[in-house]
Amino acid sequence: MPSEIKNLITSFVDAMPISTHFTSSTHSISSIKKFIQSVPQLMSVVPNMDTELDGFIQRIMTALLEIRAAFTFDPISFISFDDTKFFSVVTMLRTGLRNTVFTDNEIALLSGIYILQTANGVESNVFPVYCQGLRDEFNKTHPYEVGICDRTLTKLGSQIL
C-alpha cells in the first residue's frame, strides 16, 4: 500500500473513524478539519488560511456526511428527517450496491477523492493513487461485486459535486 494511502487512512481513523457517530455539525466540522489538516496531499489543494479552510469545510460537509450516512452505521442523527435532499442522495448512493457497509479504508479513500474533486485537486499526483487504492480495497472487500468502484465514483461525481 502506497504511503499516501496509509497516511490518508491513518489520519481518517484518527479523526473520524466509522465507529464514531457524529452528534452535531460542530463535531463534524472539527473532525473533518482534523482529517484534512493531517493529510499533506489534501492540505496542498485546499485553502490554507483558517477562515478559508473553515468555509471550504462548510461547503463539503454535507456531501461527506451523505457518504458517511450511505455507507456506515452512523445515522448522522442531527440531520433533520425533513431534509429530503440529504436522504435522497444517501439513497441514490446506495442504489445498485449489494453491500452498502464500507470499511474505514474505503470511506477514507472516498472522502479523500471527494475532497480532491471539490478542491480541483484531480490534477494532483495523488488523485489516481487514491482511485487505484479504492479499487484495490473494493476488490478485497467486495470481490463478487463487479464494477462497484466505477459505479460508486460515478455516483459520487454526478450527484454530490
The confidence band for 160, taking pLDDT boundaries of 50, 70 and 90, is low
Question: What is the model's pTM?
Answer: 0.93
Query: How confident is the model over 122-157, as pLDDT tens digits?
Result: 788 999 999 999 999 999 999 998 899 999 999 887
Domains held by the chain: number: 1
Helix (H, G, I), strand (E, B) or coil at 138: helix
For 51-69, write each residue's pLDDT tens digit: 899 999 999 999 999 999 9
Per-residue cell: 52: 478559508
Query: What's the domain range around 67?
Result: 3-160
Mean pLDDT, the chain, as a whole number? 92
Q: Nine-digit cell at 117?
A: 474533486
| Domain at 116, CATH number | 1.10.565.10
What ranges in 21-103 are assigned the alpha helix state H?
25-37, 40-43, 50-71, 84-94
d(CA 154, CA 150) in angstroms, rounded, equals 6
What are the angstrom distances between the C-alpha of 67 and each of 46, 48, 136?
Answer: 20, 24, 19
